[in-house]
Structure 1
């Protein structure tokens, strides 16, 4: 049974991805930072459908926590086949003139440093088991990386721009050993993250301005992630798929 780690797997896109992967027969390891109940609910959802899943607490902004997470996976579950870097944070919408270094660094610690450390540990994990071929990483970016999020959260947009750079660079670094690295850039998706940004109904406000005249659902992004991990995408690496309703 193939095993996949989904960071930030308790809510939104991470939750939808974990559930879909579980239904495909994978052993899904659901990482969460603070939403334990939500993570356990995802585990139960997968298990009730006959799948296999476990919830693993880890703050990926803490390097030692990430090292311990992968050590635990190695000891308890063995080889890891796939990594979905979905965990990410943003703060309340604001203009750049009121940003603080503390806020910027918090965003980067999770969205950039944490993601890259997870990639590092995944590669080391593969080396430990001497198995690289057929493995894959999918990084969840954001349309904000292209659009800039002016007057809202430029710090978040910048972090996702870095995710795109990591995706491209790592795909080239790992292509010859057999690990594929791709990304997806969701647009306005109905997730709890908009509440974190201070505007819970943001997608509804923006929907009419989008070419498709609607926001996206987490399951629609999950479908892309699942495809990028699958053998159907075996010749795809270094690609970032935009899923933003045409924007």
Structure 2
């Protein structure tokens, strides 16, 4: 079974309360740590990689993002999905070629740019082109940014998700969705839902019971590691 087939299978037939958990490596050493811990797949966070490269979230040049993803992929044997933001303005063919060139088996593609939601039908048409070029070689996770862009109506997220699923998305990521609307989203979205695990929030089991079939962490793990390193540095300074 190929890596993309393994990755796709991880999203299928998940029992309630048992989502697939995908840690977010930001470099080769963190990827190896997560693999050694036994996780079956990984999902790079664009914000975590941006921080590791010295950029603000959303400001990483495309070339540097793809290079960083490639380093993560070649450092581990498990499948890796890549957060490539809104696709960096690349045409579908080039985007797919560059993703496959990194060795990634999946991607997150968001429907906003600089905090502004894109036209949902235009974005769906673009996703359909991406999927047509990629075929089954990439697992497409469509991020829905309505909640993070200030639209709290879950029906808007469901409407966008339906367009993206029709375009070929195999998973939908309604980032920033409040916990209390997750069951409604699960009822209205016909593919697995990716849920972001917030610090001090619901447990993985609770997220799975609410809606999640996939849980990711964005830059949370990278930030935790940075805080731990800062604490160690302070203790060393004061020794």
TM-score normalized with structure 1 length: 0.37
- Structure scoring higher RCO (CA < 8 A, sep ≥ 6) equals 2
